[in-house]
Structure 1
Amino acid sequence: MVTNTEGYILVIEYLTAHLSLFENSPNIDNANSSVLEVIEQEMSENIIALCNQNQDLTFKQRNTIIREVDAIVYDLQEILSGVVNNSVNSEQLAFIKEFAILIKNLFDTEINNQFIL
């Protein structure tokens, strides 16, 4: 649905262009959230919003979206493998929020294209 699109490739390239935000980030004991926890939370919130905005999605379409999000989170875990368990800092948090919105926008576009066709 989304992971095989040009848009997804561009979003991943955007992430790789900003990997410096995640390099050499220390793991702070007793911090609130890890990078992976924030990724999962932000992706979940945006996909819940997506489904709420598109009440006409079928059960099968919703499951497809969830599988795609799982694949995206897996990709992020691979790309950020060295830091996913580190504490998230404010710059990383802002980037992850923006990234999750970009992913939601890809789904919005794909859903819109499917309903138009």
Structure 2
Amino acid sequence: MVTESQAYIELISYFTENLDLFEEGKGETIDKTVRDLIEEHIAQKIMAFFSQHEGLDQDTRLDVVREADAIVTDLEEFLSRRLDQKSTVQQEQFIIEFSGLIKNLFDSAFVN
């Protein structure tokens, strides 16, 4: 589905090009870890996706959840030792943008 697509590969490439944003000590921190932000924002986007695509059957919904879990796992691998550091405002903005792009991938995969 999404994680096997060329668009996902390009999105991961975009993410890796911005890994320097996740170096410690680069900006004002907020009271959430990088892990918290990734999980929170991707979960929000997947819930929004389900709200917009109410007609999906249960099997498809489970496939989407599995794919979202795989995406979170990929991001956690890239950021392994940085996951528990306090996030910066800039990191939060990037994660919000990136999770929106992930939602767009799912939306594109399920265009009616």
Give the TM-score band, short-chain normalised. over 0.9
The 4+ residue runs of structure 1 with deviation greater than 6 A are none
Indicate the SS of the match to 1:88.
strand
Please report the TM-score for the alignment, with normalisation by the length of structure 2.
0.93
How far apart are the structure 1 equivalents of 2:78 and 2:88? 18
Indicate the SS of the match to 1:33.
strand
Identity %: 40
Letter in 2 for 1:98: E
Give the RMSD, CA atoms, in angstroms.
0.9
Specify the alignment match of 1:8 in structure 2.
8
Bigger strand fraction: 2
Specify the alignment match of 2:76 in structure 1.
77
Letter in 2 for 1:17: E
Please report the TM-score for the alignment, with normalisation by the length of structure 1.
0.89
Give 5+ residue unaligned stretches, structure 1.
none
Aligned residues: 108
Give 5+ residue unaligned stretches, structure 2.
none
Q: Deviations over 1:60-108 (max 9, x none)?
A: 1100000000000000000011200100100000000000000000000
How far apart are the structure 2 equivalents of 1:52 and 1:97? 18
Q: Would you say 1:22 and 2:22 are equivalent positions?
A: yes
